[in-house]
Structure 1
Amino acid sequence: MVFFFVIISVMAFPNGPFTRPHPAVWRIVFGVSILYMLLLLFIIFQDYRTVRSMFEWLFPDLNNFTIDMDKGEWGVKCDDLSLGRLWESIDFFCFAHFTGWAMKTLLIRHYGILWTISVMWEITEIAFSHLLPNFIECWWDAIILDILLCNGFGIWFGMQICHVMEMRYYNWESIKDIQTTKGKLKRAVLQFTPESWTAMRWLDPTCTYMRFLAVSQLVVFWQLSELNTFFLKHIFQMPPSHPLVFIRIFVLGVMSAPTIRQYYSYVTDPRCKRVGTQCWVYGLCMCIESLICVKFGADIFQHTQIRNIIVWVLVQAAVSILCVYLCVTHHRWARRRQIRKDDSVDEETEAEENVTSYIQSLPRKQVTLSTPEDEDSDDEGDNAASKVTRRRKNHQQLRRGNRLEH
């Protein structure tokens, strides 16, 4: 059923916002998005034992695993801060943090929004730490390891890739015109890179309040999507390194690429009147996942501290709006500075042009280049005609002598 649905996706579904490596690939992504949404709708109408049996049938290693086996020492000995302790805390998940944030940077491509999401996620972990024990962290683990090192380097690395791909010149020649085998292999590999790279400019200085709210909404919804990952893993009792967890993250990552592109076009392009279909499907998947967490995690949510959740929602909204406002203010300041710089350059250019035009308008003395004989003729103005005649005779004699020699 999945195979034939994917074939129908290639033939019938609309093209996505990307063309590389081929539009059919993004039609398949849209088809997989619909299948994932239908799977979530099927799961939400089952009971917990049925869903758990499905996962155990697919992955028999889950039969002997419970979430209690994944308990570790979280948030202990926070006063013991040393280089050795920091080095011991660096594990595979630090690399996963770095890789994940590099991928998020390739999707969003804006320092302000990325750093806002990074900081707000640590606040989200604090707000839900009473429900998920693995959210309990020491202050240095959250600030130094997560925000500054893993997330910070991931954001920086992703932005460097964005700059390289934006400035790179793509020569998409036909593979038939390439003679060498090495050239053909290189061209085949380049097929899986973007045909063109668009720099994301979410916070344009001339943005309206609608765009302002749309970007703030993106920051809040991103937190909910990340939160579903940890709640689903905890509710259905899966280890963090389980293949099913990575498969879901990979599928959502591929789905989010055209989703964010369509949402960006809707937010920034006044000619775009509606949100793309991929964006709608991703939003439905996120909402259904949240409903699944609420239904099957009823025992966990019974211990919810309502005050923490209310404060979390208010802080999310306030900090998101504040960060977006600061980013817009910074962009407006940078634009005014660039305008003043351009005006000063124009004034200097205009002054140079005025000086040049003034110099050109001054009266000039005509100077003619002459030979020493000409200077003598100028000094002896009365005998100038005779000297010219004499030079002509000498020249004629020289030509006559040359003909005699030949």
Structure 2
Amino acid sequence: MASRRRTYSSGSDASDRFISINERPVDDISLEFFYKSHTITLLIVIISGLIYFAFTRDENESIQSNIQAGLVAMVFFFLIISIMAFPNGPFTRPHPAVWRIVFGLSILYMLLLLFIIFQDYRTVRSMFEWLFPELKNFTIDMDKGEWGEKCDDLSLSRLWESIDFFCFAHFAGWAMKTLLVRHYGILWTISVMWEITEIAFSHLLPNFIECWWDAIILDVLLCNGFGIWFGMQVCHLMEMRYYNWESIKDIQTTTGKLKRAVLQFTPESWTAMRWLDPACTYMRFLAVSQLVVFWQLSELNTFFLKHIFQMPPSHPLVFIRIFLLGAMSAPTIRQYYSYVTDPRCKRVGTQCWVYGLCMCIESLICIKFGADIFQHTQIRNIILWILVQAAMSVMCVYVCVTYHRWQRRRQIKKDDSVDDETEVEEKVNSYIQSLPRKTVTLSTPEDEDSDDEGEDAASKVPRRRKNHHHLRRGNRLDQ
């Protein structure tokens, strides 16, 4: 008898959870025009535009101009296809088309990285110089500054002189990261770990060398700390907000319509993230540790790519990559969070998968083209860095779990007026056992068959097939 494997049907709860993070449907449609399909109209418009530019553009210009025009057209048409074919992701505001474009850009970035990894250094450098001729006259030695000098000179005037545009960038970046992660423990762990990462790799990247007060006071406490605090305050405000969206067609005043149009660029709802709780399993511990490591890897790639391919910190390519990864991070973290914490979510989202692949390819590019730099690697520093990463991850998980357990004990004492420690502990343990857990079960098809045959028919709960017409891929904005 052929073995059979238990799978989830299209109407299963697991399928629902994956759809909600990978292709979330639009529940509240205010203006149907923007959510109806306009594929024929779009096809006519883009063909008309293509005919116009193809026959009116002067092809006698430089070959560089012709190639750039062709690349722009190729990217534009790929993004049009992205709007029509790619999934929405976990967000629908301001419009699903925005997040389909983000996913399309991430695919293009992944393909570009795959192309680069099969080239030699001179070819890649020539590509950048062809796109940005000003890079021909720039070398990484021109970016040298006063790193780690006069560290004993600590005064208010010295601190004030050290505040520049990048301090504001640190603050804004950490505020955005906080809006995505929404957990004090994980954010502070990443913040402190990044300073340790800078110390571990300072012998390879000179701009990682900085004074102790620059790392502790300016970076961790002021820029990162205030960014985390500000982001968490925004998160608390969004959690307390009452979300009841009124259709713009039902609003009578012009001011009200404009206000509703602006609010379209705000979240439809807000979910409080609970990365860690008293019932954390080893899988969630590994997942949170993996998040910290990938975060460090993504940040390291930024500095290594800039250093290896010799670009100034203010170059447009550096900012384009940062903004692109920032846009990719929003759906990526949401999909990763659902996969880690929701037992019903059995697959990771496509945007998260692509983001992870991009980070790995970037690291391979750094290793391949930065071989001369990595020859000077101090193995002891890297080993210590890995050990500290593991220790900090364990400490973060332990402290957070202990805090949540203590918080639950205090809530039980307050709500139930229980003073007996034994009774409080029993209620805490009962609460922990009731929490859903993300587990991994390894079984063979034969085991599943035996489980099915051994179940009592009276105890089987019939699985009701749900109506998925509202979860099907909705109408696309194709113009």
Q: Which stretch shows the higher mean deviation, 359-368 or 195-204?
A: 359-368
CA contact (8 A) 1:377 1:384 kept: no
Q: Equivalents in 2 of 1:177, 1:262: separation in Å?
A: 34
Structure with greater helix percent: 1
Task: State the shift of 1:349 in Å.
Answer: 21
Q: What do the CA deviations read for 1:38-66 (whole angstroms, capped 9, x no partner)?
A: 00000111111211122122222212111
Distance change (3 Å), C-alpha of 1:129 and 1:392: closer
Pairwise CA distance, 1:306: 1.0
Deviates more, 1:341-350 or 1:150-159: 341-350
The 1:189–1:399 alpha-carbon spacing in structure 2 relative to 1, beyond 3 Å, is closer
Give the alignment's TM-score, normalised by structure 1: 0.84
3-state secondary structure, aligned to 2:363 = helix
Shift of 1:207: 2.1
Relative distance call for 1:351 and 1:275 in structure 2 (3 A) is closer
How far apart are 1:344 and its partner, in Å?
0.9
Aligned 8 A contact 2:341 2:437 in 1: no
Say if 1:404 and 1:36 are closer, same or farther in 2 by CA, change over 3 A.
closer
Distance in 2, Cα, partners of 1:22 & 1:75 = 46
Matches within 5 A, 1:7-406: 7-344=80-417
1:165, 1:197 within 8 Å by CA — same for their partners in 2?
Answer: yes
Contact persistence 1:16–1:26 (CA under 8 A) = yes
Most deviating of 248-257 and 206-215: 206-215
Aligned length: 406
Q: Alpha-carbon deviation of 1:169?
A: 1.9
Query: CA shift at 1:15, angstroms?
Result: 2.2
Question: Following TM superposition, by how much is the alpha carbon of 1:205 offset from its aligned partner in structure 2, in angstroms?
Answer: 2.0
Q: Distance in 2 between matches of 1:401 and 1:328?
A: 40
Check 1:359–1:257 CA distance in 2 against 1; reply closer, same or farther (3 A cut).
closer
**Mapped contact 1:377–1:383 kept (Cα < 8 A):** no
Cα distance change on mapping 1:359 and 1:394 into 2, 3 Å:
closer
Distance 1:167 1:81 in 2: 42
Judge conservation of contact 2:281–2:437 (CA < 8 Å) in 1. Answer: no
Taking a change above 3 Å as real, the CA distance of residues 188 and 347 of structure 1, as seen in their structure-2 partners, is farther
How far residue 395 of structure 1 moved from its aligned partner, in angstroms, is 78
Q: Give 1:181 shift.
A: 2.1
Structure 1: which 5+ runs fail to align? Answer: none
What is the rounded CA distance, in whole Å, between the counterparts of 1:399 and 1:302 in structure 2?
53
Shift of the 139–385 alpha-carbon distance from structure 1 to 2, 3 Å rule, reads: closer
1:176 Cα deviation from its structure 2 partner: 1.7
C-alpha contact (below 8 Å) 1:377/1:387 kept by paired residues: no
Whether the aligned pair in 2 keeps the contact of 1:65 and 1:238 (CA below 8 Å) is yes
SS at match of 2:473: helix
- Cα drift, residue 320 of structure 1: 1.2
From the superposition, tell whether residues 371 and 304 of structure 1 become closer, same or farther in structure 2 (CA, over 3 Å): closer
C-alpha distance after superposition, 1:241-282 (max 9, x if no partner): 111111100000000100000000011100001111111100
By relative contact order (CA 8 Å, sep 6+), the higher-ranking structure is 2
**Secondary structure at the residue paired with 1:389?**
coil
Deviations 1:147-196 (A, max 9, x none): 00000000001111111112112332111222222222211111111100
Residue 269 and residue 80 in structure 1: after superposition, are their counterparts in 2 closer, same or farther (change >3 A)? same
Q: Secondary structure at the match of 1:399?
A: coil
Question: Secondary structure in 2 aligned to 1:395?
Answer: coil
| 337-346 vs 308-317, greater mean Cα deviation | 337-346
Q: Label 1:195 to 1:367 Cα distance change in 2 as closer, same or farther (>3 A).
A: closer
Moved more, 18-27 or 383-392: 383-392
Aligned-residue offset at 1:315? 0.9
Q: Contact conserved, 2:278 with 2:432, CA < 8 A, in 1?
A: no
| Aligned-partner SS, 1:401 | coil
Of stretches 174-183 and 225-234 in structure 1, the one that deviates more from structure 2 is 174-183
Once the two structures are overlaid, the 10-residue window that deviates more, 76-85 or 166-175, is 166-175
For residues 204 and 148 of structure 2, the distance between their equivalents in structure 1, rounded to whole angstroms, comes to 15
Contact 2:198–2:209 (CA<8 Å) still a contact in 1?
yes
Cα 1:59–1:338 change in 2 (3 A) is same
Name the CA shift for 1:169/1:276 in 2 (closer, same or farther; >3 Å).
Answer: same
- Deviation string 1:201-257 (CA, Å, 9 cap, x unpaired) is 101222222111111111111111110000001111111111111110000000010
Conserved? CA contact 2:405–2:428, under 8 Å: no
Q: 1:306 to 1:343 in 2, by over 3 A?
A: same
Deviations 1:63-98 (A, max 9, x none): 211111110011011111111111111111100110
C-alpha distance after superposition, 1:345-379 (max 9, x if no partner): 89999999999999999999999999999999999
Q: Using a 3 Å threshold, how does the CA distance of structure 1 residues 272 and 87 change in structure 2: closer, same or farther?
A: same
Are residues 48 and 341 of structure 1, via their aligned partners in 2, closer, same or farther at CA, if it must alter by over 3 Å? same
- Tell whether the 8 Å contact from 2:140 to 2:311 is kept in structure 1 after alignment: yes
Alpha-carbon spacing, 1:237–1:344, altered in 2? closer, same or farther (3 Å)? same
Point out the more displaced range, 126-135 or 271-280: 271-280
